[in-house]
Amino acid sequence: MNNKLKALGIDFDVHFSSKRKMGNGEYMGRVNYQECLIEIDKTATEQQQQEAFLHELLHILNTELELKLEEDTIHRLSYGLHCILRDNPQFFNITIN
Ligand SMILES: [Zn+2]
């Protein structure tokens, strides 16, 4: 699968990888800026992968916009955003129509 994400002008590849390949059993996702790569643990549940993806996007925003958010804040935001987006699949239609 070849997925791309454009975030604030940076083109990232999104890979779904095994935890072993990601090199750390603790995390379900990580961003590699050198390679413009977002990796998500493919063995996690679909919901966990979605939340991990949002989490890594927030890390990108945190870095690029110099927000200086702590890891715990990023964790809480990704959890909250995921809940809202999951419960409102029509989210982007709310403002368009
Ligand atoms: Zn994190």
Where along the chain do its domains lie?
Answer: 3-89
CA–centroid distance, 96 to ligand 1, in Å, is 32
Distance 60 CA to ligand 1 centre (A): 10
Whole-angstrom distance, CA of residue 87 vs CA of residue 81: 10
Give dist(CA 42, CA 1) in Å, integer: 12
- How far apart are the CA of 55 and the centre of ligand 1, in A? 6
The pLDDT tens digits for 31-90 are 999 999 999 999 999 999 999 999 999 999 999 999 999 999 999 999 999 999 999 988
Which value, to the nearest 10 degrees, does the dihedral of the CA atoms of residues 41, 43, 45, 48 take?
-20
Q: Copy the structure tokens of residue 91.
A: 């989210």
Distance 53 CA to ligand 1 centre (A): 10
For 1-46, write each residue's pLDDT tens digit: 558 999 999 999 999 988 777 776 678 999 999 999 999 999 999 9
Mean residue pLDDT of the chain comes to 90
CA 75 to ligand 1 centroid distance, Å = 6
